[in-house]
Chains A and B, each alone.
Chain A
Amino acid sequence: MKESPTSTSDVTIKELETRGIQVRKIEKEVYEVFIGPQHPGSGHMRIIVRLDGDIIAEADPDIGYVHRTMEKLSEVREWLKPIPLLERMTIIDACNITVPYVNALEKLMDKAPPPRASYLRVLLCEINRVASHLYGFGIFGVFLGHSTAYMWAFGDREVFVELAEILTGARLTHTYPIPGGVRRDMPQDFPEMARRAVKYMRRRLIEYQRIFLDNPVIVKRLEGVGVISKSLAAELGIVGPNIRGSGIKYDVRLIEPYEVYDELEFEIPVYEEGDALARTWVRVEEIKQSLNIIEQAVDWLERHKGELILSKDDYDKLPKLHKEIYEKTGRVKLLPVHASMKIPAGKAVARGEAGRGEIFYYVESDGGTVPYRVRVVTPSARNAIVFKYIVPGHKLMDLPAIYGSIDYFPPESDR
């Protein structure tokens, strides 16, 4: 929805001034630059930037280039099939995206996963979170011209992608959680690999700090750039590391623990500054916390070997052959009945903390074999508005710094 340019600018400036943001009224001719969607620094979106000299007078995030009608498509697929569909909106963060959907289904079915399945979900979620943050970190690095950070982060992300592959059989689109459990048990040698990966990543983070985070050029580029004040952050309703970088301790894992997050020990890193550097640090600290969680989850899983990864009644329904396969390989072979299962009529909401922030699902069932409605509110969709409010007043060269620090992921926002 586009308003006419005059009304937009008038309202925006007035609003911005009440928030204490320094803006200039555009009186002379501005230079309109379309950054994206075919641009090395835009991703699948367009930012319409109006330049007054080198200063950005207005920035319009123009999203929707990768809209794939996921909510509508979910309405014509049997209950399980939206899982592989939905995880494609944030393919780098698949488990975090699908766990809340599965939680919503479980609420409708009044079914709870066994603890081992919950721990496995959390384990994969945290592996995904590390990989997803490293992805964002790498893109951020190359936005600032720092190709080493980019290559390192993408190379180290591979460690966690491989870890996910060993756990689930797929690098990115795991389709791991299903209502009532998970699809695969952990391989025997997985804990050892996970511990090695954690140890490796802790060492690498120190090197990241040396070459990137403490690099004088990078610090100079990020300090005080793209400041989101505490009140603005709350008002815009942004989520995830961005709001935690602005000093608000908001994390679904903390305020409404799902799965087994309330049994695990971890901290929610919060920075007060609200600038691009603070947001970057939040992500790095979060990687550290995720590594802690991975260790705890792996320890727990090792102590509780042989427990079911599927809810008891689901397991009992399995035929003998499928039970044998499960005992032998740890894999759950689903019955055809799962594809055409009916879920009792009702409404459920669930939310979870994905890499980029809170993801929210509203699932409604009319008792049929397909969802009546699936509503998704993704973190990137909530963060996109930030561009409009914090980019004006900065120089054009700050745009990649802000864009990268927001860690905006267009396919997630467009769904």
Chain B
Amino acid sequence: MLETLLYIIAYPPLWQVLIVGFLGSLLIAMIAIWFERKTAARVQRRIGPYWASPKLGGFLNIIADMIRYVLQQVIIPTSVDKTAFILAPVAALIITLLPIVFIPLSPIETFWPIPSMDYSLLVALALTTVPPLLLIVAGWASNNKFAVIGSLRESYIITAYELIAVISILSVSASTSTFNLVSIVEYQAPLKWFIVLNPVAFLAAFLAILMSTSAFPFEIPESEHEVVAGPFTEYSGILYALNMGGAYIRRFIYSILLAIVFLGGWAPYTPPLDSGPLMGIIVPSIIVIIKASIIVLAMSFLRAVYGRYRLDQALEYAWKLFLPLALLGLGWAIIVGFTI
């Protein structure tokens, strides 16, 4: 009975897409938002979220916020392009979650949502590059000057970070001669992680993801004091929540990818090939999620320490510093591929 139930839960579309992908990222996004507010409060000598549940450190406050967003009236201004205005955040969220389908959370073929993982790294990485484009659509459809400026800034930043993210994450393929994420994880087992073998590429990827998800110090498209809320200026209610939560969910999906590629995936545990759903998929998934959460929380902490760079300074850093760093990581990866 229990075995059957576990098999039902571990059914790939249910487990990977709905539970890990949707609920997991929602939960991690909530934890990340809570952690961000709480650590920032600690650094700033405040209490932070408190009243909704003093014993849980105010965690329920985030849920209360979500309820508010859901119940709030959605105002759609008459001047916007309605179809694009509504569809852009929804589509962005769906496409943000899509890479999870191509990321294996277990070496066992039964538990994969797709039949083959051969080009999974390429496809997952390609899918992560789409949502920012929809952000630009959202800003453009808003027909608001601040939204348009925010979108333009986003488009500038995309050109800068995409290349860095792609080069630095793909550099592992130079070491392992494969795009198969399962092989990449197996290459790293048990403790030969790429964060140790190739820290330069990891650093470049980390910085690119900071830029991509507009975390501090690169919170430029939504910079409040020039462009109000950037592309989201005209959004309200649930549509705004989708936009705002979307950045956190993207950070989580990116972090899962990083955890698989650089932090050894489900290592140090390796499920035997004949194991059942509990040890075969649920435990390795949780290991990956924990590793990803650590990356997400590290990114969240930076808010308390840094201000934001100017747009041109961020671009300057990206092209002059991070891109060479990513290329150095690629070279390093090739050396690793030949020697280890």
Q: Mark B29-52, 1 if CB is under 8 A from A, else 0.
A: 000000000001001111000000
Q: Which of chain A's residues 123-157 have a Cβ closer than 8 Å to chain B?
A: 141-149, 151-152, 155
Q: Which of chain B's residues 290-319 have a Cβ closer than 8 Å to chain A?
A: 303-313
Q: Which residue of A lies closest to B317 (CB)?
A: A220
Which residues does chain B contribute within 8 Å of A146, judged by CB atoms?
306-307
A41 contacts B149, C-beta separation under 8 Å: no
B312 contacts A220, C-beta separation under 8 Å: no
Q: Which of chain B's residues 218-232 have a Cβ closer than 8 Å to chain A?
A: 219-220, 223-226, 228
Q: Which residue of A lies closest to B227 (CB)?
A: A396
B217 contacts A217, C-beta separation under 8 Å: yes
**In the assembled complex, A304 has its CB within 8 A of some CB on chain B:** no
CB distance from A160 to the nearest CB of B (A): 16
Across the interface, A220 reaches (CB within 8 A) one of B40, B224, B225, B309, namely B309
A225 to B217, CA, bound (A): 19
A218 to B313, CA, bound (A): 12
**In the assembled complex, B146 has its CB within 8 A of some CB on chain A:** yes
Which residues does chain A contribute within 8 Å of B224, judged by CB atoms?
40-41, 145
Pair count A-B, CB < 8 A: 82
**In the assembled complex, B216 has its CB within 8 A of some CB on chain A:** yes
A141 contacts B307, C-beta separation under 8 Å: yes
B307 contacts A218, C-beta separation under 8 Å: yes
A39 to B149, CA, bound (A): 15
**In the assembled complex, A209 has its CB within 8 A of some CB on chain B:** no
Across the interface, A397 reaches (CB within 8 A) one of B43, B45, B223, B228, namely B223
**In the assembled complex, B145 has its CB within 8 A of some CB on chain A:** yes
A397 contacts B46, C-beta separation under 8 Å: no
Which residues does chain B contribute within 8 Å of A407, judged by CB atoms?
none
Across the interface, B46 reaches (CB within 8 A) one of A40, A41, A151, A215, namely A151
CB distance from B80 to the nearest CB of A (A): 18
CB distance from B40 to the nearest CB of A (A): 6
B226 contacts A215, C-beta separation under 8 Å: no
**In the assembled complex, A33 has its CB within 8 A of some CB on chain B:** yes
A221 to B226, CA, bound (A): 14
A54 contacts B306, C-beta separation under 8 Å: no
B44 contacts A33, C-beta separation under 8 Å: no
Which residues does chain A contribute within 8 Å of B146, judged by CB atoms?
33
A143 to B310, CA, bound (A): 12
B45 contacts A155, C-beta separation under 8 Å: yes
CB distance from B8 to the nearest CB of A (A): 45
A396 contacts B313, C-beta separation under 8 Å: no
A54 to B148, CA, bound (A): 12
State whether A148 and B223 are in contact (beta carbons under 8 Å apart), knowing that A211-B305, A396-B149 are contacts in the complex.
Answer: no
A146 to B145, CA, bound (A): 25
State whether A148 and B311 are in contact (beta carbons under 8 Å apart), knowing that A31-B145, A396-B149, A400-B226 are contacts in the complex.
Answer: no
B145 contacts A145, C-beta separation under 8 Å: no
Q: Which of chain B's residues 169-224 have a Cβ closer than 8 Å to chain A?
A: 216-217, 219-220, 223-224
Q: Which residue of B lies closest to A141 (CB)?
A: B307
Q: Which of chain B's residues 119-149 have a Cβ closer than 8 Å to chain A?
A: 145-146, 149
**In the assembled complex, A102 has its CB within 8 A of some CB on chain B:** no
A215 contacts B309, C-beta separation under 8 Å: no
B312 contacts A395, C-beta separation under 8 Å: yes
Which residues does chain A contribute within 8 Å of B226, judged by CB atoms?
35, 41, 396-397, 399-400
A217 to B304, CA, bound (A): 13
**In the assembled complex, A398 has its CB within 8 A of some CB on chain B:** yes
Across the interface, B43 reaches (CB within 8 A) one of A148, A220, A396, A398, namely A148
A221 contacts B310, C-beta separation under 8 Å: yes
Q: Mark A39-60, 1 if CB is under 8 A from B, else 0.
A: 1110000000001001000000
Which residues does chain B contribute within 8 Å of A144, judged by CB atoms?
307-308
Q: Which of chain A's residues 182-226 have a Cβ closer than 8 Å to chain B?
A: 211, 215, 217-218, 220-221
A270 to B68, CA, bound (A): 50
A141 to B311, CA, bound (A): 18
B308 contacts A145, C-beta separation under 8 Å: yes
Which residues does chain A contribute within 8 Å of B145, judged by CB atoms?
31, 33
CB distance from B167 to the nearest CB of A (A): 25
A143 contacts B311, C-beta separation under 8 Å: no
Q: Which residue of B lies closest to A42 (CB)?
A: B225
Q: Which of chain A's residues 245-265 have a Cβ closer than 8 Å to chain B?
A: none
B304 contacts A148, C-beta separation under 8 Å: yes
Which residues does chain B contribute within 8 Å of A155, judged by CB atoms?
44-46
A145 contacts B223, C-beta separation under 8 Å: yes
Which residues does chain A contribute within 8 Å of B304, judged by CB atoms?
147-148
A157 to B26, CA, bound (A): 38
Q: Which residue of A lies closest to B46 (CB)?
A: A151
Across the interface, B220 reaches (CB within 8 A) one of A39, A40, A397, namely A397
Q: Which of chain A's residues 26-40 have a Cβ closer than 8 Å to chain B?
A: 31, 33, 35, 39-40
Q: Which residue of B lies closest to A397 (CB)?
A: B310
Q: Mark A148-190, 1 if CB is under 8 A from B, else 0.
A: 1101100100000000000000000000000000000000000
B310 contacts A395, C-beta separation under 8 Å: yes
Q: Mark A355-397, 1 if CB is under 8 A from B, else 0.
A: 0000000000000000000000000000000000000000111
Which residues does chain A contribute within 8 Å of B44, judged by CB atoms?
147-148, 151-152, 155
Q: Mark B251-291, 1 if CB is under 8 A from A, else 0.
A: 00000000000000000000000000000000000000000
Q: Could you list which residues of chain B lie within 8 angstroms of chain A, going by C-beta atoms?
A: 40, 43-46, 145-146, 149, 216-217, 219-220, 223-226, 228, 303-313
- With contacts A31-B149, A215-B305, A398-B310 known, what are 17 further pairs, Cβ within 8 A? A33-B145, A33-B146, A40-B228, A54-B311, A54-B312, A142-B225, A145-B216, A145-B225, A151-B45, A151-B46, A152-B45, A215-B307, A220-B310, A221-B308, A396-B149, A397-B226, A397-B310
- A sample of 20 inter-chain contacts (CB < 8 A) reads A41-B224, A51-B149, A144-B308, A145-B223, A146-B307, A147-B40, A148-B304, A151-B46, A152-B45, A217-B217, A217-B306, A217-B307, A221-B307, A221-B308, A221-B310, A221-B313, A395-B311, A395-B312, A397-B223, A400-B225
